Amino acid sequence: MSNMKNSARTLKEAKEPLFHLVKRQQISTGKAWAIRIGTIIFSILFISVLTSIVFRESPFEVIKYMFEGAFGTNLRVNVFFRDMSILLIIALAVTPAFKMKFWNIGAEGQVLISAYLTIVCMYYLGGKVSNGALIVISLLAALVGGMAWAVIPAIFKALWNTNETLFTLMMNYIALQIVLFSIKVWMPAGSGQLAPLPYGNLPHIGGGDYVTSIIVAIIITLFLFVYMRFSKHGYEVAVVGESQNTARYIGINVPKIIVRTLALSGAICGVAGFLIAAGIDHTVSIDTVGGRGFTAVLVSWLGQFNPLAMTVMSFVVILLTIGTTNVMVNSGVANDFFAEVSTGVAFLIIIICEFFIRYNIKFRKRVENDHPAVPDNQQQAELQEGGTAHIEDENEIGSEEVE
């Protein structure tokens, strides 16, 4: 082989990497969703195989436990749809802001402050006003709290262009500290837990604390679907999200839209906080929201900001969380680390799938050179084999060293 050819090849290799990414121009919605649903099923199968290897159960058994944990009894079905509804409501709350490219990660704090204000009303007014009045007052307090926590960063963003991600994140911590402080005032000694309060609880429709949340979730989903797709407000949000300059050009008052949309976001978070506090928990602690404000961001993203698709996604997320925990309980594992790991793995697979829906991998085209190139390739292959053999050698040495 000649030197010239060899150097030409090296040059080519240096210029063209093994693969590169191309953003997909067009992928039909149907195809994209087929890929997504396929990935979700794959991720469930994958973690069940993973779990079955670690805990020596059959994968079918694992899947059975998973679905048993979510739908095994009437109570579990109710709890499942209740949790799914709450997560969905929070995810819906963050969606209009995201659509506007306002990166609000403050849902956690917005929900927490609303739940907290609901409990404040229950704590101080409980037994003094009628239950009905208390529910109305605490709902109003929750709405105001949620809106305040969302609108404050929005005003700063609209007027002074502050970074909304950091701002909303910090608001989460403020809410957390307020709750912590108040619990210390209410419960100066002991375990630092406020026992469930008996006043101002939402009535149990159908004998449980599930139906209210489910109904509210359905109403908000439909409302937001119509709001985002068919209303003037929804259109304005979309335009501001696409380009603020365009929005300004066609006469949209951008600061006003930002504040108005975040007020809506905050209000929906307020509803979620109110449902958690008055409808389910009847108490508040720093774990009341328990990360659902952040999980909701995942749901909103994976659902492509489409309220109906987000329903599917919150279903999947809750199925994974409840399901994997139940698998651990049934495998007799006395901690739930592996449940968290496998849920994480499943999410990762789903997120990676989003990447492949958006980008296409183009591999380097095979070198179609003239004849002499072939032996060259073969030679390289041999060289690689030599390399692998070498690794094995090294490994043996390594294992001897360990011993």
Contact footprint for other proteins (CB under 8 A)? 72-73, 75-76, 79, 184, 187-193, 195-196, 198-199, 280-283, 285, 287-288, 290, 328-329, 332, 334-337, 383, 387, 390-391, 394-395, 397-399, 401-402
Alpha helices in 275-372 (DSSP H): 292-302, 307-330, 337-358
Task: Name the strand (E) or helix (H) holding 359.
Answer: strand 359-363
Residue with Cβ nearer other proteins (13 or 242): 13
Report in angstroms how near the CB of residue 290 gets to other proteins at its nearest. 8
Phi, psi of 96 (to 5 degrees): -55, -40
Q: Are 73 and 250 in contact (CB under 8 A)?
A: no
Tokens standing for 331?
């495998």
Is-contact 322 83, C-beta < 8 A?
Answer: yes
**CA gyration radius for the chain?**
27
Nearer to other proteins, 16 or 394 (CB): 394
CB of residue 54 vs other proteins: minimum separation in angstroms? 15
Compute how many other C-beta atoms are within 10 angstroms of the C-beta atom of residue 320: 24
In 3-state terms, what secondary structure has residue 17? coil
Q: 180 or 226: whose CB is closer to other proteins? A: 180
Cβ at position 60, least distance to other proteins in Å: 17
Q: What is the 3-state secondary structure (H, E, C) of 236-265?
A: HHHHHHHCHHHHHHCCCCHHHHHHHHHHHH
Q: Which residues of 257-280 are buried (b: 16+ CB within 10 A; e: fewer)?
A: bbbbbbbbbbbbbbbbbbbbbbbb
Nearer to other proteins, 14 or 195 (CB): 195
Choose between 27 and 133: whose C-beta lies nearer to other proteins: 133
- Nearer CB in complex with other proteins: 3/73: 73
State the minimum distance, in angstroms, from the CB of residue 390 to other proteins. Answer: 7
Rounded least distance, CB 296 to other proteins, Å: 19
CA angle 79, 122, 220 (to 5 degrees): 45
Smaller CB separation from other proteins, 158 or 183: 183
Output the smallest distance, CB 142 to other proteins, in A. 17
| Least distance CB 144 / other proteins (angstroms) | 24
For helices 74-99 and 307-330, angle between their N-to-C axes, nearest 10 degrees: 140
